[in-house]
Amino acid sequence: MHARVDRPAAEKFKWDDGETDIYYFRLDVSNEGNAAAKEIQVHVADVRRLRKDGGYELVDRFSPMNLVWAYTHRQPTLPLFLPNMPPRFCDFAHILDPGKRSATNETLPGVAPADAVLALELEAIPSSAHLLEPGTYQFSLKLAASNYPPRDYKLEVTFPGTWFDQEDKMFSDGFGLRLV
C-alpha cells in the first residue's frame, strides 16, 4: 500500500450536482506477489486525533469499517487483483468546497463555515461518523485478502481545513498523507 498526494491518487472533480468542486484522495494498492489476490479489503480499525500535548486520542464517534474501491460504485471488496499489474486505487477520503458543503449535509458542529471537512469513503455513511474536522490524524488500517495474511498500516493525515481552488496548492498545503 502506498500513500501520496498527487495525480492520479488525488484528483479534483465536480460533485454529482455538476457545480460543486470536490477533491478525492486515494490509497494505491499493489499486488507484488506471484498469485492473484482474492476478495481484497481495506479496513479502517480506528481513527486518532493529535492533541495539543502531542499525544493521540481516539475519535470515538468513528465506526470501524471498510473503505471502498475507486471506480466500483462503492464496493468494499475487490474480487480479484492479478499480480504485477498497475496499482488499484482505494478511495480514502474527499473534501468538498466548504461554501457548498451545507447542500451535501457534510457539516460538523464547531467547524467554521469557511473551513473544509474531511469525509472518509466508508462502505456505509453513518450519520456524521465519517466526517472529521481540521486536524492531524492517525488511522489504523488493515489490508486483507482471502488468500493472503492481513497487513497492518498506520496512516497519518494532516488536514488544516483550508480549501484551495488550485489543485497543486491543495495537494501541497491543504492535505497531507503518509504511511508511518
CATH 3.40.50 fits 2-179, yes or no: no
Compute the mean pLDDT over every residue in the chain, rounded to the nearest whole number: 93
What are phi and psi for residue 52, nearest 5 degrees? -65, -25
* pLDDT confidence band for 116 (50 / 70 / 90): very high
Flag whether pLDDT at 103 surpasses 80. no
Domain ranges of the chain: 2-179
The whole-angstrom separation of Cα 6 and Cα 24 is 10
Q: Is pLDDT above 80 for 101?
A: no
CA–centroid distance for 99 within its chain: 21
In this predicted structure, the answer to whether residue 16 has a pLDDT above a threshold of 80 is no
Residues 125 and 74: beta-carbon distance below 8 Å: no
What is the pairing mode between strands 148-159 and 135-145? antiparallel
pTM of the predicted model as reported, rounded to 2 decimal places: 0.94
